[in-house]
Amino acid sequence: MSKHQNKNRTTGKSVPHLSEFKSVARSENINKKFILVTSGTVSSDGAGTLVRTLLMDPSSASDWNLVSNYYDEFRVVGVRLLLLSSQQFSVTAINALGYIIFDNDSTAAPSFSTAQQYVNKRIIPSVFSHTNGKMLVYQHERPVSKSSPIPWSDVATPSGSPGSVSIIFNTAALSLSTKYFEYQLEWMIECRGRR
């Protein structure tokens, strides 16, 4: 690593690339970095509609206490969503086009037509196979600039962390009350302020 790159890592002035989150930073002078993980399932409702919003509130992660017990503030700088198709061998589940989108501010899912306009959208089918056992992966880093930094949230109120990732299919487009996906969501977070 060059001296210039090392300087940026120890000052904590820039938002790091997601690849830097593989290990926890060791210097006390910079923001600590963690990956927190949760998992779950995504199903259509009784009308065949599937909309699932995953918030930038990492308190549902099993190791959230590593953050909340030792730091005052955190911010989510990026996410990675891994999807497993629960219907990959189904001959009856309806297959339709959908989107995964990241919204930097909102915690509510947009409409299907609005999701089409998102620049960061990923188009996905509701039923897909896993080539070589690989899951579908959506990864996004929060946009940041000097005039618009990523906001910090108090660990006491993690629900105040802005933004969300949404999985959206058109209204009544899918099979009724059907589990379509299993997911793992990874929050890349920075923490500051030792307790």
Distance of alpha carbon 191 from alpha carbon 68, whole angstroms: 9
In this prediction, residue 195 carries a pLDDT of 72
Domain definitions of the chain by residue range: 30-194
Radius of gyration of the chain, Cα coordinates, nearest whole angstrom: 18
pLDDT confidence band for 55 (50 / 70 / 90): very high
**Six-digit token pair at 65?**
């206490």
Mean pLDDT of 59-86: 95
Percent over 90 (pLDDT), the chain: 74
The dihedrals phi and psi of 162, each to the nearest 5 degrees, come to -75, 160
Distance of alpha carbon 10 from alpha carbon 33, whole angstroms: 12
In terms of residues, how long is the chain?
A: 195
Verdict on whether the full-model pTM lies above 0.85: no
pLDDT confidence band for 194 (50 / 70 / 90): confident
**Six-digit token pair at 85?**
């198709």
The Cα angle at residue 162 between residues 159 and 166, in degrees rounded to 5: 95
Q: Model confidence over 128-187: pLDDT tens digits?
A: 999 888 999 999 999 888 888 899 999 999 999 999 999 999 999 999 999 999 999 999
pLDDT confidence band for 25 (50 / 70 / 90): very low
Q: Model confidence over 7-18: pLDDT tens digits?
A: 444 444 455 666
Q: How far is CA 103 from CA 21, 35, 132, 165, in A?
A: 21, 20, 31, 6
Burial (CB count <10 Å: 0-12, 13-18, 19+), residue 7? exposed
Q: Position of tokens 């923490």?
A: 191
Residues 6+ apart with CB under 8 A from 4: none
Distance of alpha carbon 183 from alpha carbon 47, whole angstroms: 22
Q: Any alpha helices (H) in 47-149, and if so which ranges?
A: 65-68, 112-115
Distance of alpha carbon 147 from alpha carbon 120, whole angstroms: 21
* DSSP E strand stretches across the chain: 32-43, 51-55, 71-85, 97-103, 122-125, 136-141, 153-154, 164-169, 179-194
Q: Model confidence over 104-134: pLDDT tens digits?
A: 999 999 999 999 999 999 999 999 999 888 9
Inform me whether the pLDDT recorded for 28 exceeds 70.
no
Mean pLDDT value across the chain: 88
CATH topology of domain 30-194: Jelly Rolls (2.60.120)
